[in-house]
Copies of this chain bind each other. A is one copy, B any other.
Amino acid sequence: MSDRGVIDRFVAYLRDHNLPVTAQRLAIAEVVLGSDRHLSAEEIAQAVAARGTAVGTATVYRAIDTLLESGLVVERDFGEGFRRFEPARDIPHHEHLVCTQCGRVEEFRDERLERMTTIVAESRGFARQRHRLVIHGICGSCQRGAGGAARIRGDA
């Protein structure tokens, strides 16, 4: 299930920074790094609790901070009013396709887009740093009438 190698890298990061390797940090790291979804802080807490080692909310957020600082996890904001987190995989950068019905998130990569953003930014005098593209639509299974659930705050 969870990729041992990534956990080891997190432990190495903790050691490097003289940060204690606690059971809570490990449990949280295993959940986030082992997930292929974009988890919210609450979902992380629930998943950790489901494994038998419940942790406090503050601990989840503090562990997430550490994971973000380690670079092993990245945060996402889909305009839901809260953040989501996902393992920073080898993929250098990718865009998101979000189902407005069930909340499912798919990823994709497009190099043309990458180039295009640089050109646009420069044409307006901006030094491009990064970009973010989210396409909203209805996924295949929802189009076929599978009852969805999640609701996200509309943004243009």
Contacts and interface: CB of A to CB of B under 8 A. Distances in A.
A30 B2 CA distance: 54
A61 to B, nearest CB: 13
Interface residues of A, number: 42
B97 A124 contact: yes
A50 interface: no
A121 interface: yes
Contacts of A153: 77
Interface string A130-152: 11111111111001000000000
A113 B77 CA distance: 21
Interface string A55-90: 000000000000000000011110100010000000
Contacts of A100: 129
A134 to B, nearest CB: 5
B97 A121 contact: yes
Contact of A126 (B124, B140, B156): B140
B126 A97 contact: yes
10 contacts: A75-B156, A97-B120, A97-B124, A99-B126, A110-B116, A125-B143, A127-B143, A129-B136, A129-B137, A131-B136
